[in-house]
Structures are given as C-alpha cells and as structure tokens.
Amino acid sequence: MQWIDIGVNLTHDSFDADRDAVIERARAAGVSQMLITGADLASSEAAVQLARAHPRTLFATAGVHPHHASQLQAQHLPALRSLLSRPEVLAAGECGLDYHRNYSPREAQLRAFEWQLQLAAECGKPLFLHQRAAHADFVALLRNYRATLSGGVAHCFTGTAAELEDYLELGLSIGITGWFCDERRGTHLAALAARIPARRLLLETDAPYLLPRDLRPRPKSRRNEPMYLPHIGAAVARARAESAEQCAAHTSAHARELFQIAALGAAS
Ligand SMILES: [Zn+2]
C-alpha cells in the first residue's frame, strides 16, 4: 500500500532536530510521497529546497496563507510567480481566507487571495486552499476565477454538507485530515466522507498540527507526523465502507492526477 500525504508542514521548526528521521518513518509506514506546504515566501522557498533534496518523494506548494496575507505586497508578486514556476512546486497555496482569527485584516486577505488565484491561473497550477469562517466570500471569488483554474483542493475540510456540495460543484477536491478522528468535533465528517467521489478525495496529516486524538498508544509528543497518515486513511476507509487498500489506491491515484506527481518507480 502506498499513501500520499498532500499536506505536511515539514519546514516547521518542530522538525528541525529530526526531519530526515520523520521522512524515513513516514516512508516505512507506506507514505511514499508528500507535498510540503508553503505558508509565506520564506517557508515556500524552504519547501522548494527540501523537495529538491528529496526528488520524487517530496514536493512543494508555494503561497501565502491568509494569516500572513498582510505581508504580501504587490512588489512580492514576481518572487511568488517565479516560485510557482519551479518544477518542484505542484500547487499554489496555501492560500484562501480565514475570518476565524483575522490575523490579517479581511481586505488584505481578499487581495492576497485574488492575486494568488490570478498567479495560479497564469502558471497553470492547482490550488491548495484554506478556508475558515469565510465560506461565502471564498466561494464567490473561486466562482469568478473558476474557468481559468486547474482545479484545487479544499485542504483540511471540516465543514458542513452544504459547504461540501459547493466545493464539489466548483470542481474542487477535498482534503481530509486527522480532524476526522476527533470525537469532539469531527464525527459529522464520517457521513460526509461517504459522499465524496473517489476521484475527489485526498488525505493529509497537516503535521505537526492536528495529531489524531484516537491514536493508541498515545504518542508522548503532541507533534503530528506524516507516518500517521495511514491511521487517518483507515478511519476514512471505514466510513466509506471500503478497504484501506482501496482508499490508499484511489486517494494516491487522485493526488497523482491533480498534482501531476509521477508514481515512484515510473520512468522520469
Ligand atoms: Zn490550512
């Protein structure tokens, strides 16, 4: 079985001491390829460097997270455009809107998101999308750009049935994290997981965040790692009444299709 983790924040400093061991543990657990999330220009550049050091195993996204939107100015767009044109960069993001915390003012978030929608269209790369408490504005902007986009993933989907319908109707794929395994706030997702077509479903850990709460034995560290992706996959497979093998096969196939990842072992 081979799994693909489409969202790992592997440049996070909590991995500084043992990053290579984390990658090795993930591979030993069957997580054969990973997409490293960029959240601002510096971490996107770091994600590209990491991907370059692990060709065919690690890949990067490049973008500016809505929390950091106020840092993105017009003068930075050429740098972001050149990151997005790198072969290691498979998606534009993490980008989107987050009105839950409003770490950046809404106007700055809307401006940064629209710039990144335009760059994604220009570079022909799919989007890696973040949305929290901003569904209406988020969907409205995506609808405006839909005809120019090369698809994308609503990462860490935790929303309602109506939100899921909106995303599917927009042609987006759905990223499921260990939130799914959270007995306090993730149980509604089991019914929704069965409604996601196999060719729209992706899995991600969002490590080091969102450690699945039902891991047994409980890891000593609160840090999540990509090696726990098969645990999330098994839970999602149960909710969809399919085997873990089937879930690994179709989520990996869809990740390869959306992000144009070459299968390991395929000729380069
Ligand atoms: Zn996010």
Q: Is the pLDDT of residue 267 over 60?
A: no
- Cα-to-centroid distance, 84 and ligand 1 (Å): 19
SS3 sequence, 198-244?
HHHEEECCCECCCCCCCCCCCCCCCCCCHHHHHHHHHHHHHHCCCCH
CA of 267 to the centre of ligand 1 (A): 33
Q: How far is the CA of 20 from the centre of ligand 1 (A)?
A: 24
Report the percent of the chain where pLDDT is more than 90: 94
Band (266; pLDDT cuts 50, 70, 90): low
Beta strands across the sheet bearing 31-36 = 3-8, 31-36, 58-62, 89-98, 127-132, 152-154, 173-176, 201-203
Q: Ligand 1 center to residue 216 CA distance, Å? A: 26
Tell me the per-residue pLDDT of 68-106, one tens digit each, with 9 for 90 and over: 999 999 999 999 999 999 999 999 999 999 999 899 999
SS3 176: strand
Q: What are phi and psi of 194, to 5 degrees?
A: -70, -15
Residue 94 CA to ligand 1 center (angstroms) comes to: 7
132 C-alpha to ligand 1 centroid (Å): 8
pLDDT per residue as tens digits for the range 145-178:
999 999 999 999 999 999 999 999 999 999 999 9
CA of 104 to the centre of ligand 1 (A): 14
**How many A from CA of 25 to the centre of ligand 1?**
24
